[in-house]
Structure formats: structure tokens, C-alpha cells
Amino acid sequence: MTDYPTSKYRILAVDDDPAILDLYQQILNSDVTKGRKSAVFELDCCSQGKEAVEAVRLSLEFNQSYAVIFLDLNMPPGPDGEWTAQQIQQLDPYTNIMLVSGFMRTDPGLSAKQGDTPDKLLYLQKPFHRQEILQFATALSAKWQAEAELRKLHLDMENLVERRTDALVKTNRRLRKAVKSRRKTEKALYTSEINFSSMIYANADGILILDENAIVRFMNPAAESIFGTKAKHFVGQTFEHLISPEKPTELDITTGDGKSMVAEMRVMETEWKGQKAYLASLRDITARKGMQQQLQLGLDHIKKVMDGTIQAMALAVEMRDPYTSGHQHRVAELAQAIAAEIDLPAEDVEGVYMAASIHDIGKISLPAEILSKPVKLTDIERKMIQAHSKVGYEILKGIDFSWPIAQILLQHHERMDGSGYPNGLGGKEILIGARIVGVSDVVETMASHRPYRPSIGLDKALEEVFNNRGKLYDEQVVSACLKLFNEKGFEFSQPEHILSAAL
């Protein structure tokens, strides 16, 4: 039998009945359940709401937060469980609260106050089974730990992006300053023919005056240094490089001593001794080209790090659910092809691919046993799974991507007729990227095996999106999807990390 690792989590039980608190002690102090090692819990008990709030405050002060709190709703003579839950959530929004009551709650007041954390506040009716308490404690503790690790990953990513962005901003500022200085120099040069020679003779940039036939008529000392030859040998000769007044050009020059360099040349029309001529301003940009190459390498590295992080996040979800390994990769593969087929710009195609690659990242907050459960889910479990799109949004919303990645994750289960979740959006309220990922997700899911059913088949999956085009799914997206499979021979491939695991 597999030996599961143990983790230690802090649990708080709050109830005015000492017998209930004793029952919590009996349940959560057991370390073996059905032959499988469970999580090790450190249990604290309180009998009143104010005492529980103080316990939570002290746990935060000593950096020993509670993963799960079992909280009785009715605790006379003190405050009830609703008040206590609100106070605790203000102190620690990340703890999971299980409200325990001897009657089924019908008042929606507390649910309306839950705000953006419905997955942090659950209900359990008395009398409860000891196995329910153990399962909830184990699953919610694992969820609490996974969310803590994700928050750390999110913070690390933000710090990395901030450092890289700061370096790029500083480099851009230096380049703008250099460009601004260059423009001022060119404007000063373009004054009058009387002072022309004296102004350009000592200029740090190389200056050539060319007539209409591209014959060199003047060459300053800086230009002599660039070309490695004296003006007397250059003036009167035909300038061999293309003259383009419209835009700057780069010249690869071999100097007189055999060295290679790169010069940027800007050309403007002027007059020389009463005749139409061209002023060619040359600057040695060999060092700048090297800096630009280094900057590009840095940008490429940032993109590579970002791509690697995205793939790591995707793999983190799939490793917790072996039955759907490769799902996000295959959805991303199809979404990218659909985006290209409907002629989205190349940069938007890349954004759709990146969003699809991690569209289920929110499921990392769910217990693995729910993800791979081979039977029908309970209402609570189904709601927990449906919350994954909003959890994914919360994970990524603070990261300044070039594309609306977080919004696509939030909307990929919305449907054209407004029947989707979490916000019931419809039609053009749904981002095109989310519509593409939504269709790709449905096709791949139906065509693949799941622990609770065998594969329905690709034909049935395509029939599903075809029959519901315009109602649930975007017509243009569905048409592109069908064309890819039926006319262009599109097939799902297996990602490398999945193939390696299979071998």
C-alpha cells in the first residue's frame, strides 16, 4: 500500500458544548484512518466567539495561522458564529471556515457578505459523522497549503517582472536621451551655408557632403576616423553606399586598418555652394548594436522564463490529476490553431495559447481526490470545481501580462446565451480569447478519457459544438474548429513531459 507523507496543520474548533469539543479531539488526534496515514493536526479549542477571534489574532502574531476553523453557529450567551466568522475573515482572509449548525440554514444574509471568498466559508449540519470532520480537515488543510504556495509563487513572479521592467525602463531612458541629443545636433547643423563648414568640421559625428551624383564634396575629421582615410583621398570619389533621405540606414564599414564597424547614417537634403546636395551624418554605433543585442537577449530570456513558469504552473495542476495529464497542452494546441485560423494578429494568437496553457490553474486549490473522483460529485464538490475559473483569475490578475490572461481564465466557462459561469456573461461580453479556449476545452474534454467516464469520441465532441453554435459557442470559432479537423487534418499531439512519463 502507498505510504502517504504527513503534514502538520493547525485546526481551531469552536463550540459551547464541551462534548462536541471532546469529539473534535477524538477525531482529529487520530493519525491513522483505514490504513492510510492522514495529515497530522494540531488542534486548539474555544467555547465562545470572542475567544476564537483572539486565538486567531494570536496565531497571526506568531505566524502560526489556522488552516481550518470548525465554528458553531449558535453559542449563547456570547456572539453567534456569523459574527465570529466575519471577525475572523477580517483578520485572516485565507483560513477556511466550516460553519457547523444543528439546523439547515435558510437566511442568505451571511452568504451575501462573503464577497469574493465563497470557497473560504462552508456549512456542515449536525449531527456530523466523524469521517466528515476528518475528510474536511484533510482536504481543506491541503487546499490552504496549496494556496499559500501559490501566493508565494505569484509574489516571486511579480518581483521578477518588476526587476526586469525597471532595467528595461532605465535602458529605454538612456536610448531616448541619446536620440534626443542626436536630433538637437542635426537641427543645429541645418542652419545656413555661411556657417556650415565651421559648424560641422569639429562635430563628433562623421559628416559628408555629397552632390546630386553622390560625389563626396566634403569630409570632416570624424568621418576620416570612421572610414580610416584622409579627406584628400576621399573627396571627389563616388560614395558607394545607398543614400536614403527617408530613414536612417546602417553601414558595415571596413576601416583602413582592416577593422570592422557599424555606422548609422542619416541623410538630409541641403545646399552646398548654391547647388542641391546631401548632408550625410554618420555615427559609430558598434557599441550600441552590441548593447541592443544584449538587451534583446535579456528580453528573450525574460520571455523564456515566463514561458517556463507558465508551463511549470500548468504541470503543477496536471501532476495532481494524472487522468487529465496533457489536457491543458492539448487545449492550448487547438486554441492556438483556431486563433490563427480566424486571422487574429500573431501576438494575440500567442496570448490565447498562453492563457489556454494554464486555463485550469485554479484547480490547484482543489483536493486531488475531488479532481480524480470516479463517481458523481456532490453539490459542494461541483461548486468547488466551478470556482476554479475565479481562483485562476485571482492568482494571475496582479501580473501585468501583455494579454488579458486573467480575464480569459475567468471567462472560459461563460457561454454565448449567458448560461455559463461564474458571471453569466453572454455574446460579445465574453473576450474572443475566452470563447476560443471555451470551445477548445469542450472538444478536448469530450474526446478524452476521464475517471468518471470513457472517451465520448472526437466525432461526438465536434457534433456537440456544431449543434450548439450560436447558442453556447461562438459561430466563427466553431466553424474554424471544424475546418481544422475536417479539412486541414488537425490532430492532438502528446506533450513531451507526458510522453516521458509514459515511457
Taken in order 42, 45, 49, 52, the sign of the CA dihedral is: negative
Residue % of the chain over a pLDDT of 90: 33
Cell numbers describing residue 362: 485554479
Taken in order 477, 482, 487, 489, the sign of the CA dihedral is: positive
Question: What is the reported pLDDT for 281?
Answer: 74
Q: Is the backbone peptide bond immediately before 127 cis, with ω within 30 degrees of 0?
A: yes
Cell numbers describing residue 382: 461541483
Each residue's pLDDT tens digit, 8-56: 899 999 999 999 999 999 999 755 444 444 458 999 999 999 999 999 9
Question: What is the reported pLDDT for 227?
Answer: 74
Classify domain 190-284 by CATH architecture: 2-Layer Sandwich (3.30)
Question: What is the reported pLDDT for 498?
Answer: 42
Determine whether 336 is exposed, middle or buried from the number of CB atoms within 10 Å of its CB (0-12, 13-18, 19+): buried
**Res. 5: pLDDT tops 50:** no
- The mean of the pLDDT values for the chain is 79
102-116, 310-324, 485-499: range with highest mean pLDDT: 485-499
**Res. 82: pLDDT tops 60:** yes
212-226, 298-312, 371-385, 464-478: range with highest mean pLDDT: 464-478
The pLDDT-based confidence of 239 (bands split at 50, 70, 90) is confident
CATH superfamily of 294-502: Hypothetical protein af1432 (1.10.3210.10)
Question: What is the reported pLDDT for 340?
Answer: 94
Query: In the chain, what are the domain boundaries?
Result: 8-149, 190-284, 294-502
Of the candidate ranges 62-76, 137-151, 417-431, 483-497, the one whose mean pLDDT is the lowest: 483-497
Q: Kindly report the CA angle at 372 between 367 and 378, in degrees rounded to 5?
A: 70
Classify domain 8-149 by CATH architecture: 3-Layer(aba) Sandwich (3.40)
**Res. 115: pLDDT tops 50:** no
Indicate if 190-284 has the same CATH topology as 8-149: no
Question: What is the reported pLDDT for 341?
Answer: 94
Helix (H, G, I), strand (E, B) or coil at 184: helix
The pLDDT-based confidence of 283 (bands split at 50, 70, 90) is confident
Question: What is the reported pLDDT for 395?
Answer: 84
Strand partners, 280: 208, 267
Alpha-carbon distance values, 214 to 190, 238, 278, 413, 450 (Å): 19, 6, 8, 65, 74
Phi, psi of 15 (to 5 degrees): -160, 140
**Res. 2: pLDDT tops 50:** no
Strand order in the sheet with 96-101: 40-46, 8-14, 68-72, 96-101, 121-125
**Res. 368: pLDDT tops 50:** yes
The pLDDT-based confidence of 279 (bands split at 50, 70, 90) is confident
